[in-house]
Amino acid sequence: MKKKRIVVICGTGIATSTVVVKKTEEFFQKIGIQVDISQGRAVEANIMSERADLVLTTTPSIKLDHNVPILNAIPFLTGMGEDDLKEEILKVLVGKE
């Protein structure tokens, strides 16, 4: 499987996206899949995600000009629904193979 590209977006590109990046890295390390993760601000989402396979966001109003799947990453912050989010991430990334 080729390395997947994930973009993590929050309002400022600092606080909540950092937590989501850590959780995402831990998840993929645990299952042995290599990913390239970058993080940014909501205003950068469209540009940053042009070559991404997936966008994880804590900002619900993200709209993209291209067809990249967007998943709500709030479960990585709250812990509620985290397993469901992980399943969705795998469906998007591994289901593309």
Residues noted as catalytic: 10
Separation of alpha carbons 97 and 58, rounded Å:
26
Report residue 51 CA to chain centroid gap: 13
Running DSSP on this structure, what letter comes out for residue 96?
T
Report residue 76 CA to chain centroid gap: 10
